[in-house]
Amino acid sequence: MMGRKYFCNDVIYTIFKKHHCPVCETQLSRIKVSKIVNSKSPEAKNYDFSGTNGFMVGDVEFIWDEFYCETCDKTISIDEMKRIERTARFSMHIRAVFDFLITDYGLEYKHQEFLNAYDGNWTVQAYSFYNNSGCFTIHNLVQRDELDFYHSPKFSQELSELCGKGVNICTIEPEIWDKHTKIWFFKRPFFWLNNNKVLSVFAEVLKTHLSKNKEFFGIQI
C-alpha cells in the first residue's frame, strides 16, 4: 500500500486571509495538489518521509495546498504567493516615499523584475528613477532581502546596465543618517535590517539634499 502524507502550508495565511491573482485580480481559491515521490529517488531529499510509525519507504503521495485562479487556470504555490504579496507591498512603499522625485522633480519611474539573475535562481526587483542625465536604481535581491543602490548613465531594461556603478547613500547628509542610526555614540544594531525604515530615512535625506543641490549621484534635477 502506498504511503500518504499531508502537510499544511501556514493555516492562517491560506484559510483566513483573502488573496488575489497578480495577473487578473480574481480572488484565489485553495486546491489540493499532490505528487508521488519514491524514497530512493534523487528528489526524495526535498521531501520529509517521516511518519507517525517511523520512516516511510517506497512510493509516497505528498499532498499540500496551493492557490488557484479560475480565470487564468493557474496554480500558485504558497511560497510564491507570499513573495508576490511581499514584493507588492514593498513596491507600494517605494513608490509612496519617493513619489516626490516624480511629482516635484519630474523623474521617470520604472519597476522591473529580473528572474534567474546572476546565472542562478536569484530574483532581483529593480526600482529606477531616471531622466536624460542618468538613472538611479534601488536593487533588491529578493532571496536575501538585501538592498543595494546604483547609478547608470541611462535607464535600461538590462540588469547589468542598470547596475553600472554602486553608490553609498550615506555619503550625502551624513548628519541625518547619524540621527537615525545612532543612539548617542552607539550604533543602532538593527537599523539596516529594516528595509522600509532605511528607505524612509533615505527619502528624508534626498529631500534635504535636493533642497540645497540640483543633483544627486550625478543625476541633474
- Which of 32, 57, 76 is the last residue before a domain boundary? 76
Same domain, 188 and 154: yes
Same domain, 17 and 69: yes
Which residue range forms the structural domain that includes residue 148?
81-220
C-alpha cell at 161: 546596465
| 101 and 46, same domain (yes or no) | no
User: 199 and 122, same structural domain?
Assistant: yes
Q: Which of 76, 96, 118 is the last residue of a domain?
A: 76
Write out pLDDT tens, residues 64-111: 999 999 999 999 999 899 989 999 999 999 999 999 999 999 999 999
Same domain for 51 and 140?
A: no
- Do residues 68 and 101 both lie within one domain? no
Same domain for 64 and 138, yes or no, is: no
**Whether residue 17 is found in the same domain as residue 57:** yes
Same domain, 71 and 115: no
Q: What is the dihedral of CA 134, 135, 136, 140, to 10 degrees?
A: -160
Rg over alpha carbons for the chain, rounded to the nearest Å, is: 23
pLDDT-based confidence at residue 63 (cuts at 50, 70, 90):
very high
Domain boundary among 19, 41, 76: 76
In terms of domains, do 203 and 105 share one? Answer: yes
24 and 72, same domain (yes or no) = yes
- Total number of domains constituting the chain: 2
Q: Dump pLDDT digits (tens) for 72-83.
A: 999 999 989 998
Q: Are residues 99 and 59 in the same domain?
A: no
Q: What residue ranges in the chain does DSSP mark as E strands?
A: 3-6, 29-38, 50-51, 54-55, 59-69, 74-76, 108-117, 122-131, 134-141, 146-152, 165-166, 182-183, 186-187, 215-216, 219-220
Amino acid sitting at position 84: I
| Interval 145-194: pLDDT, tens | 999 999 999 999 999 999 999 999 999 999 999 999 988 778 888 999 99
